[in-house]
Structure 1
Amino acid sequence: MGQPRSPRERCSCSNTNCVERPLTRLFEALGRVVAACPWPFLLLPPLLSAGLGAGFIFLPGRQTNDIEGQFTPTGGPAKAERDFVRRYFPTNDSERFSAERLPTEGAYAALIAVAAKDDASVLEREAWDEVLLLDDEVRDADYERLCARSGGTCASANPLLQLLTYANGSALPELPELPFPGGGGGGDVFLGTALGGVRTDGSGRVERARAVKLMYYLREDGDAAGESRAWLETFLRDFPEKLWKLNLTAVEVAPGRGAAAAAERG
């Protein structure tokens, strides 16, 4: 058998005891300290983890979902042009809202209601009653407080909500003559963005429509912008459950992209 190596022998490829020996002594000393006084080693790690981990409670408030700021050039020409439009064509979401004047796509929740049966029209009485029920479900107290307003009332989600509905909120018994895409409401309402899957007669009047789009705009000016984003986030989270409870049978409903996009921009 070989002779034991001298502790004073220099380190080499065949002698690693010079590394093992001090490490062994170090861990022996650490073991004695832990055995003699274990409580600091038991309490300090969880306390340190709790103290450092507490910072995560501030994480939601520091997250940024500003897609525009993250993926578009800083000081780009498009932003300068938008600022020019904002300066000369200002908007007033609280009193004189106009979707056509928006320099951005706006903050809104969008719903698309489609007739459930292949041969049905969303303008039929049964389906339209469910569209009105859907509209009532969206217009809760918070929406009425944050909605974009024109003429003292919330901007209409769809021009047909006034054209096909009595003042008491019930649907008209018969479909009035609706020229498409323009001409509804005495000729001053454009229906091209309000209806989808439209079939017209020879004179261009609506016979049936497969889908209707509802857009609920919210205020983005002043202090209401943050509350509007919060409402949109709540809408995206809670509305599917509300929709399920409505148990609609004549129409099928899909949320539009507007709410998600606006929430991401926040």
Structure 2
Amino acid sequence: MDDNHNGMLRGIVAGICKYALLIFVILISIYPIIWVFISSFKERPGGLGLPETWKFDGYITIFTKLQIGTYFSNSIIVSVISTLLSVIFVAMAAYVSARMDFKGKGLITLMFATTLFIPPISISFPLYRLIDTLGLYDTRTGVVLVYSGLGIAITFFVIRSYFLTIPAEMEEAAQMDGCGHVRTFVQIIVPLAKPGLATAAVLAFLNNWNEFYFATILLESKTNMTIPALLGQFRSAYARDLNGMFSAIIVSVLPTILVFSFTSKLFIKSLTAGAVKG
């Protein structure tokens, strides 16, 4: 009886510690967003309490004077198109790497992996020269091309790992029915790999949406700038407009929260797929 009682007690203590740790991590994660959200409505941003009078001046400023709608639409266009291009082309490369044997396969996979260790600042000048030479400086097309290549290694390995969880018998059956590699990829592999593709797309979209460094280098005019470039302006011309800055931050993080909320099931399914293989 004593052993059972001690075991139950240890289980209860372990459960309490586990949930306490989870609550602590959640609070650390959401506290900055809540603080910024509440501060965006205060006359004098800061502090921990609720505002005495709720002010909407910051939101009015960013939607009227700063025309955040233009920055917002630019971010959506650039992020969505670059994400689609990245996932489509990387998915085809990941399928070849996961399913086919050819000379130099290991080297190509290693080349994808080495891009994880290249800091963006080290390739900023060559990219700037390339985009400028192509006549794409200060255009959304130039930023789309750069964003399509950023984070390509993570996208590659996420999709490739999910392709490896799909039974090879599915492809063999399709090939016996007369399907070629292209038809097998489009009609068999892609539908089965939707969770993996969705996970890669979400990660790529979040990275592209929040990217600041190349956006400030390759974009100059306000008609083409993205949301992160807008936030950078508050460090200079609008440094004292804390309400506007906090309001812009809330508007900028809202799409990423919504995207992850609606795709969280696919995201979790993809991350756990490899753990249950075999």
Q: Structures share a fold, TM > 0.5?
A: no
Greater helix proportion: 2
The two structures have a TM-score, normalised by structure 2, of: 0.28
What TM-score do the two structures reach when normalised by structure 1?
0.29
Query: Which of the two has greater strand per residue?
Result: 1
